[in-house]
Structure 1
Amino acid sequence: MTTIVVPPRCDAIPEVEGDPAQVRVFVDDLLASAVNVDDLDTFARDSATLEDWSGAAADAYGRHVRAAAADADAISAAVRRVARAGEDYAEAVTDLQRRRGVLAEDRTGFHTARADLLADIRAATEADAAAVRELEDRAAALTTRRTTLVEDVDQLGRDTTAAEQAMLDAMTSYSTLEKARAAVTGGRDLADSALAKPGSPSSGGSPEEVAAWWDSLTEDEQLAVLAAHPEVVGSADGIPATVRDRANRLLLETDVDALELREERGEILPPADSDALANGRAARAALAQGAKEVDPITGEPLVPLLHLYDARAFGGDGKVAIAFGDPDTADHVSVMVPGYSSTGTSAEGNAEAAFNIYESSRFSDPRSSVASIMWIGYDAPSDWDSASVAGEGRAIDGGEALARYVDGLRASRDGSPAHLTVVGHSYGSTTTGHAASDHGLAADDIVLVGSPGAGGGVDHASDLGVGADHVWAGNNSRDPVAGLADNGWLGGHTLFGAGLGNDVGEDDFGANRFDAESTTRGEGLDPFADHTKYFDEDTEALFNIGQIVVGDYDEVLGADHKYDPWYRGPVDPEYDRDPTSRGDRAAEW
């Protein structure tokens, strides 16, 4: 009688405790603390000497304040190091849980094979020698399989213990101020040394140089710069979008929390701080609303990226850019440049427009990936400086910033270049025109909607540098802002000094005009209502913008150009056309 030894069952595999997402929340909280302490360091150093105060008391004050600054620097560095360990721990737990899942599947497979072998042994009452050998070979293979599985489970346990111990060691290594001081004594701050390298944003590097500089840093250096100078990282064109998002969210939360704390204490905030708080709250609201959106094709939730944030820029108007999708990996990237009255407080409405462009683009080509950005990175005419909308000065300055921003989007990608479209609305179309004609905007397509003109120096679509066949114009026939552009052989409204360039929808300009009428055009008492409908859902304009963003030009609904008979004023064929609704495009999918 032949005895076949079947290996025993495997014990249950222990769970790997821990939630990587919560660890990362903890890390972000640490980084926010490091930012605040680093700010204290800077404030203390700047306050170590006071004007018109000298003598023994002033010297003593200076020594005390500089010591406090040094301690703040040490604490900030220590907290950053614990945060770095936390990042490693989150990655370790993620990997350990993945390994545990694989081992659990292996254990299930082992038990299934074991049960099959036992069943075959019981059924083999009169097996020949060959059949017995086959059963013995299967049992031997199962024994080896079990040995490997047990060894891997044991290794998983050891690695789990090591990861936990490394996190504990990091936390206890800096548990006192004395330990923090000792950790940084005699060494140069990683953030300072990283920023001193060639190509850094603080050295005035180009977007391409900034991208190379960031890639050259170690992970420790990257985290140090992120925590010590989030304002530098968050606004640096050329740095990856997810990194900028992390830096800008740190700035956002620390800014808003600090200002709200002062407000809760009953302090009356001065105008500069009040404006910054309003901008911060608007950015926070836009991100919260954006996080409720889902991809229209997959149904997966979207995580908007805070690609730019400076609540105090432009005298309190603020800077903000929010992206849906990752511009570093998407096949198609669009940048929407809003116009008149666009400030930090308009983040939510402009983010909604960016999402609508994302949604339209995804419907237009569900097989490709998309990133849609709203960019308020220039000082658009608004509030007290509203009169500047009649001139091109803000558009000229904004065009330079826009061109650099787009260069940064190009530089931060690792793979093949994206198909990139810039969509300029209202005064933003003039800004886009200057970015293209003055600075060689690195776009593949330029879309101008509700445009009062692409700039006085742009006579023809071909002047924008992307080829006239890649310049697109969408002006609603009832839009009074579009009517401010220079029309016809008499120059139209330039007689009143309001034109910001030639009418981009006119035949002589040479752009591709597309349908941009609204089924609600002319309704209501607001004369500017039709100027704000270009990004509304189910509109002709949004449908066409989506097709352009994904490069599906044949599907764009073309419109007849305005023209200028010698015997009368400009004629717009769109004025008498019945507008259409694009309907519920979600029904198609």
Structure 2
Amino acid sequence: MRRFMTLLTTAVLTTLLVGSTGGWASASGERVPGGPLPGTAAWLADDSLGKKLPDPATATPSDVAAFFASLTGAQRQRLIEDHPTVVGNLDGVPVKVRYQANASAGEQVLAYDPRGRGLIARVVGDLENAARVSVIVPGSDIDISTFDRTARWAADLQEEAGEDTAVIAWAGYTTPSGIGLDLATGRLAEAGAERLNRFTEGLDVAGLPSPSLFCHSYGSVVCGLAASDTDARDIVVMGSPGMRADDVTALGTDAHVWAARSPDDWIGRVPHVEVLGLGHGADPTSSDFGATVLPADDVPAHDAYFTPGTSTLTAFAAIVDGER
């Protein structure tokens, strides 16, 4: 009984400690956008091409890719103009077509969903011709209004790794907001993992290289849950509260798993437990976990792993380039 109460206490502490710089979240938690994208009804009712358009709710990225491959340039352009929200968020649509559909949200935007706090994915570099692809999966308090930080990380990684690399800043899931139960549970991470897997499948059917995933803080929970169903070449976690797995083997992935944690990162004070759905499990930087631990002694803070000049950013670029 005493051991159970100890574990329960540490799980509750996780609720208080995991998080970032935001305020307290509401008791009801974040609402994940559900239902069809805006414009889906008009998309499904469109019979002007003489063929049924793929249902965003059921079509796989492979189905979508095959459909768009069957279209003429003029037909693709008409779908972009008539149904930009659907085309711009449909995994399996060619990269350049998605850019055009999302042009109102900026350059090289690969996904844009304005519902709720907003979801967005933006590319740094030449994705269509990249020899290497990386995806940054951020943690809590990231949405359209705070996306610039993740976009800056992508730019810094792309510059360090070189022009043959494309880096995608992927704020494509609803992140926890503030400090609250959402941070200590896997609810949002489970939804995020499903979206991440579909997104990477879309990259795969586009003929792009298997990506390296760079997962920060709560984003590492997302990547841990997505690991078994993604074709990632590498999974790199930093400032991680846990990956909801006891060790690398339990992740069920062939990817090389890497982990970094600065001695100045407050995440080190978070108890690495999982009890009654609270907490995210083992520390990925522990020797028992089995990840390759990266140097991070010069990283000054929880949000500084992509800072130019740090040992972590240098190591991240070497992983992308296949030099580690």
Does 2:274 correspond to 1:503? no
Query: 1:399: Cα distance to partner?
Result: 0.4
The equivalent residue for 2:34 is none
RMSD (Å) for aligned C-alpha atoms: 2.7
CA distance in 2, matches of 1:532, 1:422: 17
Residues 201 and 335 of structure 1: is their aligned pair in 2 closer, same or farther, counting only changes over 3 Å?
farther
The equivalent residue for 1:380 is 175
The equivalent residue for 2:92 is 238
Q: For 2:266, what is the secondary structure of its paired residue?
A: coil
TM-score, length basis structure 2: 0.81
Match of 1:206 among 22, 37, 60: 60
CA distance in 2, matches of 1:485, 1:321: 32
Amino acid at match of 2:68: W
Query: 1:382: Cα distance to partner?
Result: 0.9
Does 2:249 correspond to 1:462? yes
The equivalent residue for 2:30 is none
Amino acid at match of 2:123: A
The equivalent residue for 1:249 is 103
Contact 1:248 1:306 in 2 (8 A): yes
Contact 2:135 2:170 in 1 (8 A): yes
CA distance in 2, matches of 1:442, 1:513: 21
The equivalent residue for 1:435 is 226
Query: 1:482: Cα distance to partner?
Result: 4.2
% same residue: 34
Query: 1:464: Cα distance to partner?
Result: 2.6
Q: For 2:313, what is the secondary structure of its paired residue?
A: helix
Q: For 1:373, what is the secondary structure of its paired residue?
A: strand
Residues 443 and 190 of structure 1: is their aligned pair in 2 closer, same or farther, counting only changes over 3 Å?
same
Structure with the bigger RCO (C-alpha within 8 Å, sep 6+) is 2
The equivalent residue for 1:305 is 108
Contact 2:56 2:90 in 1 (8 A): no
The equivalent residue for 1:587 is none
Amino acid at match of 1:319: L
Match of 2:131 among 319, 322, 331: 331
The equivalent residue for 1:390 is 184
Residues 531 and 496 of structure 1: is their aligned pair in 2 closer, same or farther, counting only changes over 3 Å?
farther
Runs of 4+ more than 4 Å apart: 494-498
Query: 1:191: Cα distance to partner?
Result: 5.4
Residues 531 and 203 of structure 1: is their aligned pair in 2 closer, same or farther, counting only changes over 3 Å?
closer
Q: For 2:129, what is the secondary structure of its paired residue?
A: coil
The equivalent residue for 2:201 is 407
Contact 1:249 1:306 in 2 (8 A): yes
Give CA-to-partner distance per residue, 1:414-440, whole Å, 9 cap, x none. Answer: xxx514101110000000111114xx1
Does 2:239 correspond to 1:450? yes
| Count of aligned positions | 285
Amino acid at match of 1:307: L
Contact 2:88 2:110 in 1 (8 A): yes
Match of 2:308 among 537, 558, 562: 537
Amino acid at match of 1:327: L
CA distance in 2, matches of 1:225, 1:462: 44
Contact 1:337 1:424 in 2 (8 A): yes
Contact 1:461 1:467 in 2 (8 A): no
| Rg (Cα) greater in structure | 1
Amino acid at match of 2:187: G
Contact 2:284 2:291 in 1 (8 A): yes
Query: 1:326: Cα distance to partner?
Result: 3.0
Q: For 2:213, what is the secondary structure of its paired residue?
A: strand
Give CA-to-partner distance per residue, 1:301-346, whole Å, 9 cap, x none. Answer: xxx511111122xxx2100111012333211000000001011111
Give CA-to-partner distance per residue, 1:128-178, whole Å, 9 cap, x none. Answer: xxxxxxxxxxxxxxxxxxxxxxxxxxxxxxxxxxxxxxxxxxxxxxxxxxx
Contact 1:518 1:533 in 2 (8 A): no
Amino acid at match of 1:308: A
Residues 436 and 485 of structure 1: is their aligned pair in 2 closer, same or farther, counting only changes over 3 Å?
farther
CA distance in 1, matches of 2:292, 2:141: 27
Query: 1:478: Cα distance to partner?
Result: 2.1
TM-score, length basis structure 1: 0.46
Residues 402 and 460 of structure 1: is their aligned pair in 2 closer, same or farther, counting only changes over 3 Å?
same
Structure number having the greater helix percentage: 1
Match of 2:265 among 453, 456, 479: 479
Q: For 2:155, what is the secondary structure of its paired residue?
A: helix
Contact 1:426 1:452 in 2 (8 A): yes
CA distance in 1, matches of 2:292, 2:232: 16
Structure number having the greater strand percentage: 2
Residues 387 and 203 of structure 1: is their aligned pair in 2 closer, same or farther, counting only changes over 3 Å?
closer
Contact 1:196 1:203 in 2 (8 A): no
Amino acid at match of 1:507: S
Does 2:212 correspond to 1:421? yes
The equivalent residue for 1:192 is 47
Contact 2:234 2:257 in 1 (8 A): yes
CA distance in 2, matches of 1:495, 1:444: 31
Residues 192 and 495 of structure 1: is their aligned pair in 2 closer, same or farther, counting only changes over 3 Å?
closer
Query: 1:388: Cα distance to partner?
Result: 0.7
Contact 1:419 1:550 in 2 (8 A): no
Query: 1:190: Cα distance to partner?
Result: 11
1:141-156 mapped onto 2 (5 Å cutoff): none
Contact 1:472 1:514 in 2 (8 A): yes
Does 2:319 correspond to 1:548? yes
Contact 2:213 2:236 in 1 (8 A): yes
CA distance in 1, matches of 2:193, 2:65: 21
Query: 1:518: Cα distance to partner?
Result: 2.4
Query: 1:214: Cα distance to partner?
Result: 0.6
Residues 482 and 332 of structure 1: is their aligned pair in 2 closer, same or farther, counting only changes over 3 Å?
farther
Contact 1:190 1:221 in 2 (8 A): no
Residues 201 and 194 of structure 1: is their aligned pair in 2 closer, same or farther, counting only changes over 3 Å?
farther
Q: Unaligned stretches of 5+ in structure 2?
A: 1-37
Query: 1:204: Cα distance to partner?
Result: 2.3
CA distance in 2, matches of 1:222, 1:203: 20
Give CA-to-partner distance per residue, 1:338-379, whole Å, 9 cap, x none. Answer: 0010111112111111111111111xxx6xx11101101111
